[in-house]
Amino acid sequence: MSDATTREDITAYERWELPNLNAGGKGNAAARQNGNKSGVVLPTAVQLEEIQRQAHDEGYQAGYAEGAQRIAALLNTLEQALQQTDHEIAQDMLNLSLEVARQMVQQTLNIHPEVLLNTIREAIASLPHFNQGAHLVLHPDDATMLRSSMGEQLSHTGWKIFEDANIARGGARVETAHSQIDATLANRWQRIVANIGQDSSWIQE
138-150: average pLDDT: 89
The helix, strand and coil proportions of the chain, stated in percent and rounded to the nearest 5, come to 65, 10, 30
26 versus 162: the higher-pLDDT residue is 162
- What is the rounded average pLDDT of the residues 137-152? 89
E strand residue ranges, 47-194: 135-138, 160-163, 172-175, 180-183
DSSP secondary structure, 23-44, as one string: HHHHHHHHHHHHHHTTS--PPP
Reported confidence tier of residue 73, pLDDT bands at 50, 70, 90: confident
- Domains of the chain, first to last: 114-194 (3.30.2320.30)
Query: CA triplet 86, 105, 164: central angle to 5 degrees?
Result: 125
pLDDT, average across residues 137-163: 86
| Top mean-pLDDT range of 38-52, 117-131, 152-166 | 152-166
Distance CA 54, CA 44 (A): 15
pTM of the model: 0.49
Whether the pLDDT of residue 163 is over 80: the answer is yes
* Cα dihedral: 88, 93, 94, 96 (round 10): 120
Q: How confident is the model over 66-71, as a mean pLDDT? A: 75
Q: Which range is least confidently modeled, 96-100, 115-119, 169-173? A: 96-100
What's the average model confidence in pLDDT over 114-125?
A: 77
pLDDT at res. 139: 92
- Mean pLDDT for all residues in the chain: 72
Does the pLDDT value for residue 14 go beyond 70?
A: no
pLDDT per position as a tens digit, 22-54: 555 555 555 455 555 555 666 677 776 777 777
Residue 205's pLDDT is 44
Q: Please indicate whether residue 127 or residue 166 has the higher confidence score (pLDDT).
A: 166
For residues 157 and 151, give the distance between their C-alpha atoms in angstroms, rounded to a whole number: 10
